[in-house]
Amino acid sequence: MNPENIKVLYIDDEVNNLVAFKASFRRIFQVYTAESAEEGRRILAENEVHVILSDNRMPKLTGIDFFESILEKYPDPIRILITGYTDINAVVDAINRGQIYKYLTKPWNENEVKNFIEKAYEVFRLRKENYELTQKLLEANTQLEFLARQSLLS
């Protein structure tokens, strides 16, 4: 897949960060931005998203809490936490509760973020491909079992 087909959602309560992110990556990826977790959920409901980046420290809901809250309904997008603060407890929570793929600090390095998004998409794509192949294998096994039973009965 071309990078411009990778759909990225970035959530941050600081509008300047959203503008900078979109300006940096809109020509590389399909970028959605949201100023809140609620707006992020709305975008997820209306669009297929491959990679989600979220600031951790936001007024109503932390990025970790947001990731944890969407896991059941949107388990497939790969999650990256971005924060201006280095807190080992936040890292542990992000991994354990939010099942994040990467943890980045602000200010971000554009090349690093681009590479992480591309690698995250590769994980997304491989998981999807693995799921589809597993489904085909299960279907083939069911058909083989049916044929084996038919052979035994005849």
Give the total number of structural domains in the chain.
1
Res. 144 pLDDT band, cuts 50 70 90: confident
CB 6 within 8 A of CB 51: yes
Give the number of residues written for the chain. 154
**Residue 105 domain-assigned?**
yes
Q: Does residue 145 lie within any of the structural domains? A: no
pTM summary value? 0.83
Domain membership flag for residue 56: yes
Report how far apart the first and last C-alpha atoms of the chain are (Å, whole number): 49
Domain membership of residue 101 (yes or no) is: yes
Domain range for 111: 3-127
The answer to whether residue 22 is domain-embedded is yes
- Give the domain CATH number at 86: 3.40.50.2300
For the chain, give the mean pLDDT. 89
pLDDT at 40: 96
Which pLDDT tens digit goes with each residue over 42-96? 999 999 999 999 998 888 888 889 999 999 999 999 999 988 766 666 666 666 6
